Amino acid sequence: MYGLGLLKGLLVTMKNLVFPSRMFTTHQYPDRKISPLGLSKLENKNIISFFVSNPSKFIRSLLGLISVDDKFPQSPRFRGQEFTWYEQRCTGCASCAKYCPLGIIKIVTSPSGESIPEGQKYSIDVFDIDIGRCMFCGLCVEACPYDALHMGSGFEEATYQRENLVIDIDRLKSAPKKPSTWFRPQLEEVGYDPKSGDEITWEQIGRHQRPSVSEQEDNWVNR
């Protein structure tokens, strides 16, 4: 029979109205308004005891004035915006600048006063990364021979001016040393998480340890 499709459609939308939680496709970001029931569950309390203990909070949450952080869990391998740079490891070789497909890393070095005879280390005057044009491929991290540069884990760095998107050397120095585990998955084995964990030093983040002779034989000779 014709005409029933119209009524079926009305039923579908009515289901959405009555049971919205089963099919919300949009998410409240970065926090969500919380009801008294949800808040009491969050504080491990019965809703009545929650009301008795903190009536003002109860009423404010009833009016929709209280919001809690609500973000999806993020992989520790996420390649984010703030770069982590270990200054003492960087020699100013500019491998990262050479390997960058977009050419957005700018490095200016000069021979440093102390180690000119040895020729080991340059002093770095300018280190600019224009993340406004960065595509977060991570090739600069792979190219670095001394493990000095790592990706970060943030993504909420919107600004009003394009110039503010250029990360200069001061920002790189002062940024928290919380690298993404994207190029160093062995960090996940010890339970490190860039979003919640502590800062780590360059010694902890080094490459895989050199395999022992027996391991090398197992892998390459006796297989």
The verdict on 159 binding another protein (CB under 8 A) reads: no
DSSP state of 130: E
Name the β-bridge partners of 129: 105, 167
Is 1 a binding residue for another protein by CB under 8 A? The answer is yes
| 124: helix, strand or coil | strand
Helices (H), the chain: 4-18, 36-42, 47-53, 55-62, 95-99, 139-143, 169-174, 186-189, 213-216
Minimum distance between the CB of residue 2 and another protein, rounded to whole angstroms?
3
**Among the listed residues 55, 64, 206, 211, the single contact to another protein using CB under 8 A:** 64
**CB nearer another protein, residue 71 or residue 162:** 71
Name the segment binding another protein (CB under 8 A); options: 24-32, 89-97, 154-162, 208-216.
Answer: 24-32
Closest-CA residue to 121 (of 89, 145, 168, 150): 89
Q: 129 is written with which tokens? A: 């990364």
Q: Say if residues 181 and 188 touch (Cβ distance below 8 Å).
A: yes
* Among residues 24, 72, 160, 220, the one that binds another protein under rule CB under 8 A: 24
Gap between the Cα atoms of 149 and 84, Å rounded: 6
Least distance in angstroms from the C-beta of 39 to another protein: 15
Q: Contact between 56 and another protein (CB under 8 A)?
A: no
**What is each CA distance from 148 to 33, 44, 56, 85, 145, in whole angstroms?**
42, 45, 51, 6, 8
The residue within the footprint of another protein, chosen from 44, 56, 63, 170 (CB under 8 A), is 63
Tell me: does residue 13 bind another protein (CB under 8 A).
yes
Q: Which stretch binds another protein (CB under 8 A): 4-12, 42-50, 108-116, 146-154?
A: 4-12
- Residue 59 contacts another protein per CB under 8 A: no
- Site residues (vs another protein, CB under 8 A): 1-3, 6, 9-10, 12-14, 16-17, 20, 23-26, 28, 33, 63-65
